[in-house]
């Protein structure tokens, strides 16, 4: 458990650098991310590199004993590059090239920009790849931010045609897969196919899905060019990329396959304001953030670099105070920065790195807080980061080697499957205006957490053996390989609505939904309804408990399953078949908890009813108790536990750490 920070030496007088570095060390920071976005400073004129300042910056940090995370500056191609090659620009859905003057204006499919990206990556990696201070690399920055994955440039069109040709081989195969006889959409050659944009009404969903898949693969290919070059010139260093929150425009599992460590940028208050929560929840969590938003992503990104990389992950950017980019930007309550940092560690983060060392007084992000204010004074985030560093040291949790060398294990017995193509399918054909697959995934996750369960969020390719409970809240994609692994896993399995409903071309699964999951679930979905706001069904549970259903419901035929809960009109709402559970609707929080309590009990997992906005995490042999509520809360773990930090009574924004004894 180590702390880091994002630092932009080019934005500050050089005579501040050494002092900044000394104060970082004093604060307990070990990692410093630099050079992100610095292309125009590194190469102010085409082909003329200005390394001197960056040499000195790295030397300054190195001299202070800090470890450097170096970035490729490709998220911000400079103006001279854009003017020399306007064809490199991404093109929006209206056919307008996206202009220079902010960031991420490039098209992932541009061959000329890929060459430029390789050129600058190689140049930076060659110069600093062997530098002893350089511990890790970050490629680019936040791929896709500001919705830049989908581009409709001529370059993208050409690449899409090539991609389709490679996938389908013959145009007849594509016409069949897409159902092009519908509405006379048939093509005679791949050269006739355009991006699915600008159509009079909805474009063909298979066409749209393939464009999403194509665009996602372009991101991965773009990234791979950089990771290959970095590994060539800077062997032994970790390579990472900083992912985002609730972002689904590309398949993160594909990009992560080329990384050593997954990192992500955690802005709990911004995400609370900008995503699907209702107005009342946005107000309620305005200053704390929804407690499960960071946790959800921690568990998601922990699962990114799975397999050989053993689930290594960091928070690359941790919100240190109010930000500038959400619809509303409140300041976190005092104590939240500390709590978020500990929450990340409790979910297994190797490093929590704050964005940013000091608030910039100029340009787009000037209203984004840092650990320090623009006048160099310590801001509240800095106070709390200092406190965390002290606590880590006092508890002996502060790693002394490089990140990843010493890591306590997570032992989640629950897996939640998140599958990007399934998300795309629901986004392309939501069938109801508010059917958001990320929202239902998050609501299922939150219910699990409210029951005190630790959760791994895994890809559909994950080995689910060993889990006691596997949840698929929004797995629309028919997936017979996963079905087979689930069948063999011995786990209790919970399917959300629409599971397995679609084949890989976003057509109906063979037979009817849930397709490949039908044998497991023991149901056949015969009809679906998306429900307008205000249509709320009651779900009746055997213990007389009631829960609510909205957004969606399905009429199912029992094919072996039995009904566990019913809608008011007697139709089955939740079904059970052997080890499988199926939700024929979109449950509210109470409904998810009813369902998961039963499934967990069947799986032999203990659940508990936690006080509101209290959360538990188990890491190594410790239990981390986190109070996100605005009230004091009492929480006592088993008698055998030893309190390392905090106490049974947790103040608002309070934390307790307990060392658990092996159970008798």
Which residues are designated catalytic? 142, 317
Q: Which two tokens stand for residue 503?
A: 């084949």
Residue 162 found at the interface with a second copy (CB under 8 A): no
Q: Of these, 331, 519, 589, 644, which contacts a second copy (CB under 8 A)? A: 331
Binding mask 262-291 for a second copy (x = CB under 8 A): -----------x-----xx-xx--xx----
- The DSSP output letter for 377 is P
Nearest-approach distance from CB 131 to a second copy, in angstroms: 22
Q: Which two tokens stand for residue 354?
A: 């704050």
Q: Give the span between the Cα atoms of 337 and 356, in whole angstroms.
A: 13
Q: Of these, 322, 421, 500, 646, which contacts a second copy (CB under 8 A)? A: 322
276 or 508: CB nearest a second copy: 508
Report how far apart, in Å, the C-alpha atoms of 78 and of each of 75, 89, 105 are: 10, 12, 10
Contact in structure between 339 and 286 (CB atoms under 8 Å): no
Binding mask 554-583 for a second copy (x = CB under 8 A): -x----------------------------
Q: Of these, 13, 83, 132, 544, which contacts a second copy (CB under 8 A)? A: 83
First to last CA, the chain: 29
Residue 184 found at the interface with a second copy (CB under 8 A): yes
Classify 317 as helix, strand or coil: strand
Angle, CA 323 vertex, CA 351 and CA 336 arms, to 5°: 55
Q: Give the span between the Cα atoms of 17 and 57, in whole angstroms.
A: 7
Q: Pick out residues in 513-532 that bind a second copy (CB under 8 A).
A: 526-532
178 or 495: CB nearest a second copy: 178
Q: Of these, 13, 166, 236, 362, which contacts a second copy (CB under 8 A)? A: 362
Nearest-approach distance from CB 561 to a second copy, in angstroms: 18
Q: Pick out residues in 40-69 that bind a second copy (CB under 8 A).
A: 40-41, 44-45
Contact in structure between 302 and 347 (CB atoms under 8 Å): yes
Binding mask 418-457 for a second copy (x = CB under 8 A): -----------x-xxx------------------------
Nearest-approach distance from CB 409 to a second copy, in angstroms: 38
> 189: Cβ–Cβ under 8 A, 6 or more apart, which residues?
171
Give the position of tokens 């957490």: 449
Nearest-approach distance from CB 505 to a second copy, in angstroms: 7
Q: Give the span between the Cα atoms of 249 and 574, in whole angstroms.
A: 31
Nearest CA-CA partner of 423 in 248, 274, 208, 196: 248
H helix runs in 234-379, sequence order = 252-256, 268-274, 279-284, 292-302, 336-346
322 or 496: CB nearest a second copy: 322
Nearest-approach distance from CB 23 to a second copy, in angstroms: 18
Residue 79 found at the interface with a second copy (CB under 8 A): yes
232 or 431: CB nearest a second copy: 431
Q: Of these, 19, 26, 80, 167, which contacts a second copy (CB under 8 A)? A: 80
Q: Give the span between the Cα atoms of 447 and 304, in whole angstroms.
A: 22
Q: Of these, 38, 392, 423, 655, which contacts a second copy (CB under 8 A)? A: 38
H helix runs in 403-528, sequence order = 420-428, 437-450, 480-489, 518-521
Q: Of these, 90, 516, 565, 575, which contacts a second copy (CB under 8 A)? A: 90
Q: Give the span between the Cα atoms of 531 and 587, in whole angstroms.
A: 13
Q: Pick out residues in 466-485 that bind a second copy (CB under 8 A).
A: none
Q: Which two tokens stand for residue 234?
A: 């800077």
Q: Of these, 4, 28, 77, 654, which contacts a second copy (CB under 8 A)? A: 77
Q: Of these, 76, 109, 234, 459, which contacts a second copy (CB under 8 A)? A: 76
Nearest-approach distance from CB 47 to a second copy, in angstroms: 14
Identify which range of 226-234, 317-325, 338-346, 608-616 contacts a second copy by CB under 8 A.
317-325
90 or 574: CB nearest a second copy: 90
Cα 218 to its chain centre, rounded Å, is 19
Q: Pick out residues in 163-182 that bind a second copy (CB under 8 A).
A: 178-182
Q: Give the span between the Cα atoms of 231 and 310, in whole angstroms.
A: 19
Nearest CA-CA partner of 34 in 103, 102, 124: 124
Cα 334 to its chain centre, rounded Å, is 26
Q: How many CA atoms lie within 13 A of 603 on its CB side?
A: 28
Q: Give the span between the Cα atoms of 93 and 72, in whole angstroms.
A: 28
Binding mask 342-361 for a second copy (x = CB under 8 A): ------------------xx
Contact in structure between 441 and 416 (CB atoms under 8 Å): yes
Q: Of these, 19, 59, 84, 96, which contacts a second copy (CB under 8 A)? A: 96
Cα 301 to its chain centre, rounded Å, is 6
Binding mask 128-157 for a second copy (x = CB under 8 A): -----------------xx-x---------
Classify 555 as helix, strand or coil: strand
Q: Give the span between the Cα atoms of 438 and 480, in whole angstroms.
A: 22
459 or 503: CB nearest a second copy: 503
Q: Give the span between the Cα atoms of 507 and 510, in whole angstroms.
A: 9
Nearest-approach distance from CB 389 to a second copy, in angstroms: 21
Residue 194 found at the interface with a second copy (CB under 8 A): yes
* Beta-strand relationship, 2-6 and 29-34: parallel
* Beta-strand relationship, 455-458 and 414-417: parallel
97 or 514: CB nearest a second copy: 97
Identify which range of 76-84, 299-307, 410-418, 642-650 contacts a second copy by CB under 8 A.
76-84
**Rounded to a whole number, what is the largest CA-CA distance in the chain?**
75
Q: Give the span between the Cα atoms of 328 and 289, in whole angstroms.
A: 12
Angle, in degrees to the nearest 10, between helices 420-428 and 437-450: 130
Nearest-approach distance from CB 237 to a second copy, in angstroms: 24
Q: Of these, 18, 118, 203, 545, which contacts a second copy (CB under 8 A)? A: 203
Nearest-approach distance from CB 90 to a second copy, in angstroms: 7
Q: Of these, 364, 488, 638, 642, which contacts a second copy (CB under 8 A)? A: 364
Q: Give the span between the Cα atoms of 575 and 564, in whole angstroms.
A: 5
Q: Pick out residues in 366-425 that bind a second copy (CB under 8 A).
A: 366-367, 369, 373-375, 377, 379-380
* Beta-strand relationship, 492-495 and 455-458: unpaired
Q: Of these, 111, 490, 511, 604, which contacts a second copy (CB under 8 A)? A: 511
> 571: Cβ–Cβ under 8 A, 6 or more apart, which residues?
553, 555, 556, 584
Nearest-approach distance from CB 535 to a second copy, in angstroms: 5
Identify which range of 63-71, 201-209, 310-318, 335-343 contacts a second copy by CB under 8 A.
201-209
Q: Pick out residues in 580-639 that bind a second copy (CB under 8 A).
A: none
Residue 204 found at the interface with a second copy (CB under 8 A): yes
Q: Of these, 18, 50, 118, 197, which contacts a second copy (CB under 8 A)? A: 197
Residue 544 found at the interface with a second copy (CB under 8 A): no
Q: Give the span between the Cα atoms of 231 and 458, in whole angstroms.
A: 27
Q: Of these, 18, 25, 87, 103, which contacts a second copy (CB under 8 A)? A: 103
């Amino acid at each position: 458990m180590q702390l880091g920070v994002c630092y932009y030496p080019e934005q500050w007088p050089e005579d501040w650098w050494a002092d900044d570095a000394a104060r970082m060390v004093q604060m307990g920071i070990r990692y410093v991310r630099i050079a992100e976005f610095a292309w125009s400073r590194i190469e102010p004129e085409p082909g003329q590199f200005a390394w001197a300042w960056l040499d000195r910056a790295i030397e300054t940090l190195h001299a202070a004993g800090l470890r450097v995370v170096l970035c490729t500056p490709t998220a911000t191609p400079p103006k001279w590059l854009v003017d020399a090659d306007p064809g490199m620009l991404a093109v929006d859905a209206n056919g307008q090239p996206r202009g220079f003057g902010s960031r991420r204006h490039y098209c992932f499919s541009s061959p000329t920009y890929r060459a430029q990206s390789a050129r600058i990556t190689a140049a930076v990696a060659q110069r600093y790849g062997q530098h002893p201070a350089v511990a890790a690399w970050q490629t680019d920055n936040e791929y896709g931010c500001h919705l830049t994955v989908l581009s409709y440039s001529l370059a993208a069109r050409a690449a899409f045609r090539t991609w389709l040709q490679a996938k389908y081989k013959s145009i007849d195969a594509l016409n069949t897969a897409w159902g092009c006889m519908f509405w006379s959409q048939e093509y005679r050659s791949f050269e006739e196919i355009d991006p699915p944009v600008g159509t009079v009404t909805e474009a063909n969903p298979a066409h749209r899905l393939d464009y999403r898949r194509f665009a996602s693969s372009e991101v991965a290919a773009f990234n791979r060019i950089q990771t290959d070059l970095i590994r060539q010139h800077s062997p032994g260093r970790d390579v990472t990329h900083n992912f985002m929150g609730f972002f689904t425009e590309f398949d993160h599992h594909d990009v992560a396959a080329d990384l050593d460590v997954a990192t992500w940028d955690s802005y709990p208050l911004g995400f609370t304001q900008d995503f699907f929560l209702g107005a009342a929840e946005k107000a309620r969590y305005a200053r704390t953030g929804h407690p499960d938003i960071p946790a959800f992503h921690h568990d998601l990104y922990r699962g990114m670099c799975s397999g050989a990389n053993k689930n290594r992950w960091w928070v690359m950017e941790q919100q240190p105070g109010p930000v500038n980019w959400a619809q509303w930007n409140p300041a976190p309550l005092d104590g939240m920065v500390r709590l978020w940092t500990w929450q990340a560690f409790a979910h297994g983060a190797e490093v929590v790195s704050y964005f940013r060392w000091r608030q910039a007084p100029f340009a787009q992000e000037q209203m984004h807080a840092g650990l320090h204010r623009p006048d160099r004074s310590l801001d509240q985030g800095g106070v709390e980061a200092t406190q965390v560093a002290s606590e880590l040291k006092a508890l002996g949790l502060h790693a002394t080697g490089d990140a990843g060398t010493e890591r306590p294990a997570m032992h989640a017995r629950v897996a939640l499957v998140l599958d990007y193509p399934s998300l795309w399918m629901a986004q392309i054909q939501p069938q109801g205006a508010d059917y958001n697959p990320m929202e239902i995934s998050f609501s299922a996750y939150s219910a699990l957490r409210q029951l005190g369960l630790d959760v791994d969020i895994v890809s559909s390719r994950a080995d689910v053996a060993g889990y006691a409970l596997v949840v698929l809240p929004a797995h629309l994609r028919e997936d017979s390989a996963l079905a087979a692994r689930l069948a063999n896993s011995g786990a209790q399995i919970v399917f959300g609505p629409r599971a397995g409903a679609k084949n890989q071309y976003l057509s109906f699964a063979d037979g009817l939904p849930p397709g490949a999951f039908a044998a497991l679930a023991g149901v056949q979905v015969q009809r679906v309804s998306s429900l307008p706001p205000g249509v709320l069904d009651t779900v009746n549970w055997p213990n007389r408990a009631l829960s609510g259903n909205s957004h969606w419901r399905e009429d199912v035929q029992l094919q072996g399953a039995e009904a566990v809960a019913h809608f008011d009109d007697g139709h089955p709402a939740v079904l059970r078949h052997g080890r499988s559970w199926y939700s024929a609707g979109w449950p509210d929080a109470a409904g998810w908890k009813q369902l998961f309590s039963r499934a967990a009990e069947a799986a032999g997992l203990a659940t508990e009813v936690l006080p509101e906005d209290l959360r538990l995490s188990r890491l190594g042999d410790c239990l981390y108790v986190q109070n996100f509520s605005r009230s004091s809360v009492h929480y006592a773990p088993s008698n055998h536990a030893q309190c390392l930090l905090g106490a049974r009574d947790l103040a608002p924004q309070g934390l307790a750490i307990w060392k658990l004894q092996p159970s008798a």
